[in-house]
Amino acid sequence: MKYRSVFDIIGPVMIGPSSSHTAGAARIGLVARQLFRAEPAWVSFHLYGSFAKTYQGHGTDVALTGGVLGFDTSDPRITDALNIADTKGMNVSFHEEEAQPDHPNTVKIRLGNGVQELELVGISIGGGKVEITELNGFPLRLSGNHPAILVVHNDRYGAIASVSSHLAKYEVNIGRMEVSRKDVGKEALMVIEMDQNIGEDILKEIEALEHVETVTKINE
């Protein structure tokens, strides 16, 4: 296995006690918040495997909530996240699911605000690292540990090329890219992980491209 730094071995700077159950959970919640692009009025966490069995003792509940509130893994407010959510009037609920997931540290997050809703499935793979495996019914593989953009677009000829060409114009290097769709010619999702964050101006330009519906970014 190849590590980028010593922090890939000992884990991230975090509020404990567990890199998998706390730091990873906070990261999944933070990705959900970034993709939602607003503070939700309600959020429900559906916990599977070991998450369902130990989420209170290992602080997974406060970590997930803290992430959705926009707190990073090292933010000391995570320990008080449930109270902070309650003060903000955010309705937070936890559900222990009996289904056996492919990975023991799995959570499905549903959140909304009366205008929009979002659903994603994430897993904590250890050392504070995570993968998002599903977003609003689209299967995907998003690490959440690199800058990325998610592009919802119409499944049309040239849509993928126009987005990648636009990134190349600004010398943005693509580290990994995948595309999923629910049906031919319907809505599709582009996931692009990059070597650097991009600004809102580039984001708006991509969103204005033909066949592109929405663009959301995740910062490292």
How much is the pLDDT for 70? 94
Amino acid at position 82, single letter: L
Structure confidence by residue, pLDDT tens digits, 117-139 = 999 999 998 877 899 999 998 98
- Dihedral (CA of 181, 182, 183, 189) sign: negative
* Chain CA centroid to CA 81, Å: 18
> Token digits for 195?
């070597």
Structural domains of the chain, with CATH: 6-142 (3.30.1330.90), 148-218 (3.30.70.260)
Percent of the chain with pLDDT over 90: 65
Q: State mean pLDDT over 189-201.
A: 93
Q: Report the half-sphere exposure of 63 (CA within 13 A, side-chain side).
A: 29
Q: Which of 207, 177, 179, 206 is nearest to 193 (CA)?
A: 177
Q: How far apart are CA 138 and CA 130, in angstroms?
A: 17
Q: What is the pTM of this model?
A: 0.82
